[in-house]
Amino acid sequence: MAEAHQAVAFQFTITPEGIDLQLSHQALRQVYLSGLRSWKKRVTRLKNNVITGVYPASPSSWLFVVIAILATMYTRSDPSMGLIAKIQEHLPQGCIQIIQKCRTVVSAVLFSTLLWFSLIFTMRLCLKQLLSYHGWMFEQHGKVSNTTKIWAAMVRIFSGRQPLLYSYQGSLPNLPVPAVKDTVKRYLESARLLMSDAEYERMTTLAKEFESSLGNRLQWYLKLKAMWASNYVSDWWEEYVYLRGRGPLMVNSNYYGMDFLYVTPTPIQAARAGNTLHACLLYRRKLNREEIKPVILNVPLCAAQCERIFNTTRIPGEETDSLIHWQDSEYVAVFHRGRYFRLWLYHAGRMLSPREIEHQIQHILDDPSPPVPGEAKLAALTAGDRIPWAQARKEFFSSGVNKRSLDCIEKAAFFVALDDDEQGMMGDDPAGNLDRYAKSLLHGKCYDRWFDKSFTVVLYKNGKNGLNAEHSWADAPIMAHVWEYVMTTDCFQLGYTEEGHCKGDVASSLPPPTRLTWDIPAECQERIERSLAVAQTLADDVDFHVLPIQDFGKGAIKKCKISPDAFIQIALQLAYYRNRGSFTLTYEASMTRLFREGRTETVRSCTSESCTFVRALEGGESKEVCRHLFRTAAEKHQHLYRMAMTGGGIDRHLFCLYIVSKYLGEESPFLKEVLSETWRLSTSQTPLQQVELFDFVNHPDYTTCGGGFGPVADDGYGVSYIIIGENMINLHISCKHSCPQTDSHKFGADIKKALMDLLELMSPEKPDPSRAEQNHLKNSKKDL
């Protein structure tokens, strides 16, 4: 409606008497308030940039330095050791006497400012060096060395107070480049157990040849990039792993997040949409103001990925896609029954209340207009292969009404899908419905999600919600942080009336949502159908199972004095071995956000230690032997995870060396074989980051279910898991129906059985009451 307001704000007619100018005061007021909001955001952004730019100091510290320098000058001492006089000599000669008298003060202020900037630079440099220390990660739990204690004290000294979201960005260290020989050695160690003797000998030969010849040359270029760029991995990872992928984003790349498992706060779809969208806006406002606290894991984590959460779209290209981010967007694009709408989220310079958004969503739900030809399944273009979508976009959406409507979707804050289906853990088959709920969020009907948007909020007819997120702009923990805030704000802060509606009133002057218009020719409709056929085949092949485990959780695992993540990863190895009778290359995602612009690294969870333990357990070895082997495997896994987090991983380094070799036109048989390996077991943990927002004691039913992703390999599994509180673990397992060796439900049962077996193995043995009674009788006889 903003364009409409602007169009009617000025009306004029030419008459014989002259020009009759008419002004719409209501429209002018809307334009004024919209501009005022934009200027407020610019001022806030400028203020935050200044605060972040001088961190760990504060802007007020400049005044303190100036006053201190001027005070020392009045005591007839020169703290600058002659620099103030040198600055005064180079100041222009003024004609006015007052300016002449102030030249000394101006020189002192300039010197104070230079000193202030020097102190900031020194503090940042010291903080950067301190944050480069990762020895604390490798120390045993509860045993902190003196070095780490001194380091922690120094970090507190050089860290400023009340940091904003991006305050630490300039102080984070760069991701280090490991030595080629170290990476090759770690790779060969990880590959040994999955290769025969002949295969391993051949790979060792290739690795030694690479290390002694081409590897050093590629490493030189990589070190050069590491000196120049903020992160030597992230830009290539984003481009070559995500943006250059020509297959469908749906299932293959995008992932999903679920609603509360047991609770639906309201059965009214429009009301749930009102609170959910308003909570998203509240998060975006906190993000724009940098009021979100930086994530601290003893040291701060990089927040660069947060910049593109909202107002971001992936644009298809024939060779490579591109990510476009806009500074602001005041509306969302909404899909319902094959129609597209623009829903403005701001009116009269303010954010719409949840009740007003509910009113607007209900207006869309009640709209009886049918979709125009080709509109209903238009989004299937984003679900299919990228090249046909790029060609169709260029041919049919580069001008006219189609371009304007497509621009409206791509420039929206995010995408909203209003589904007519009911989903959730409900009915006579709650487990099966939970699986169907996951599949619906992952791919829907293949034409009711805009898979190119940074994320799509899905709202079902029965009030359930969820999201589908595009992967290239950020990793899952970033979107999980948003969704945790949205879910808890929806239920615990905004709330609903007794009838299930949003709280608040509706402004009478609220303009209705705008229907987007399209003119889609028959040829484009044929391409839409072809993309839909590709996407539908992919979606139908996905076998999905969501498994909530309530028998035990983190609390029971910690009593075994084992890392919960290592415990689950070894259980996955045991389950896969029982499921397939062999071991496989396993991918576990680990974050590298301890470094600037860090994203992820691979932990190769299938180790020789874990395989030795699994074989011993399945071979009937004694409990004492199995326990020892299990602890050894868990410690090895924890070591690999810490190495990955601190820049000592394997796969990102080899990936970047491979990219350099392609730029140089060099062929490396070693790198080619490494990067062609198949990850048949791809795993990822979704961490619960804002535990303080949940109350599992007083509100145990308000339990998040986490999220999941599609299988990476056609003959493998994708496993996502989230540890909830002390007594629950949720698993999301995916595979493909087309592979006869995979079954998500059977593998889920194998994982649960493996977890229970490991818990029984590692739990402290309870004393046998009968044996204790016999010992008591023996001791009594001795006493007699």
Model confidence pLDDT, tens digit, residues 629-667: 999 999 999 999 999 999 999 999 999 999 999 999 999
pLDDT band, residue 54 (cuts 50/70/90): confident
Specify the pLDDT at position 51: 78
Identify which has the larger pLDDT, 44 or 352: 352
CA dist., res. 734 & res. 720, Å (int): 9
- The answer to whether residues 218 and 226 touch, using CB atoms and an 8 Å cutoff, is no
Mean pLDDT of the chain, nearest integer: 89
Residue 36, C-beta contacts closer than 8 angstroms, at least 6 positions apart? 349
3-state class percentages of the chain: helix first, strand second, coil last, to nearest 5:
50, 15, 35
Report the pLDDT averaged over residues 281-305: 93
CA dist., res. 662 & res. 21, Å (int): 64
Specify the pLDDT at position 98: 47
φ, ψ of residue 694 to 5 degrees: the values are -100, 155
What percentage of the chain has pLDDT greater than the value 70?
91
Report the pLDDT averaged over residues 510-524: 95
CA dist., res. 705 & res. 465, Å (int): 12
Residue 668, C-beta contacts closer than 8 angstroms, at least 6 positions apart? 210, 214, 218, 657, 658, 661
CA dist., res. 152 & res. 297, Å (int): 12
What percentage of the chain has pLDDT greater than the value 90?
70
Specify the pLDDT at position 298: 87
Residue 475, C-beta contacts closer than 8 angstroms, at least 6 positions apart? 305, 589, 591, 599, 600
CA distances from 135 to 363, 592, 648 (A): 58, 16, 13
251-263 pLDDT tens trace: 999 999 999 999 9
Any idea which residues carry the catalytic annotation?
471
φ, ψ of residue 117 to 5 degrees: the values are -65, -35
Residue 48: count of CB within 10 angstroms of its CB: 18
CA dist., res. 465 & res. 487, Å (int): 9
DSSP 3-state assignment of 416? Answer: strand
- C-alpha closest to that of 737 among 546, 496, 469, 543: 543
Report the pLDDT averaged over residues 761-774: 58
Specify the pLDDT at position 174: 95
Specify the pLDDT at position 756: 94
- The answer to whether residues 389 and 381 touch, using CB atoms and an 8 Å cutoff, is yes
420-445 pLDDT tens trace: 999 988 888 899 999 999 999 999 99
CA dist., res. 350 & res. 345, Å (int): 9
pLDDT band, residue 102 (cuts 50/70/90): confident
Burial class (CB in 10 A: 0-12, 13-18, 19+), 470: buried
Specify the pLDDT at position 700: 82
DSSP 3-state assignment of 332? Answer: strand
| Res 204 pLDDT > 70 | yes
- C-alpha closest to that of 512 among 632, 684, 359: 359
Q: Are strands 455-459 and 415-418 parallel, antiparallel or unpaired?
A: parallel
CA dist., res. 488 & res. 370, Å (int): 36
Residue 82, C-beta contacts closer than 8 angstroms, at least 6 positions apart? none
Q: Are strands 681-685 and 717-724 parallel, antiparallel or unpaired?
A: parallel
Global pTM value: 0.89
- The answer to whether residues 415 and 456 touch, using CB atoms and an 8 Å cutoff, is yes
CA dist., res. 684 & res. 686, Å (int): 7
CA dist., res. 257 & res. 634, Å (int): 29
pLDDT band, residue 30 (cuts 50/70/90): low
| Res 778 pLDDT > 80 | no
DSSP assignment, residue 261?
S
* The pair of three-digit structure tokens given for residue 25, joined into one six-digit string: 């005061």
CA dist., res. 373 & res. 576, Å (int): 48
CA dist., res. 353 & res. 347, Å (int): 10
Q: At residue 164, what is the residue type?
A: L
- C-alpha closest to that of 684 among 749, 613, 588: 588
Beta-strand runs (E) in 419-551: 455-459, 465-469, 514-515, 542-549
593-607 pLDDT tens trace: 999 999 999 999 999
CA dist., res. 171 & res. 596, Å (int): 8
- The answer to whether residues 618 and 202 touch, using CB atoms and an 8 Å cutoff, is no
Q: Are strands 255-258 and 465-469 parallel, antiparallel or unpaired?
A: antiparallel
pLDDT band, residue 628 (cuts 50/70/90): very high
Residue 765: count of CB within 10 angstroms of its CB: 6
455-480 pLDDT tens trace: 999 999 999 999 999 999 999 999 99
CA dist., res. 416 & res. 457, Å (int): 5
Specify the pLDDT at position 767: 47
| Res 209 pLDDT > 90 | yes
CA dist., res. 454 & res. 308, Å (int): 8
360-403 pLDDT tens trace: 999 999 999 999 999 999 999 999 999 999 999 999 999 999 99
Q: Among 200-214, 744-758, 759-773, where is mean pLDDT lowest?
A: 759-773
Alpha helices (H) along 75-179: 83-90, 97-131, 146-158
- The answer to whether residues 276 and 357 touch, using CB atoms and an 8 Å cutoff, is no
pLDDT band, residue 780 (cuts 50/70/90): very low
pLDDT band, residue 18 (cuts 50/70/90): low
Specify the pLDDT at position 631: 95
CA dist., res. 690 & res. 699, Å (int): 15
Identify which has the larger pLDDT, 760 or 50: 760
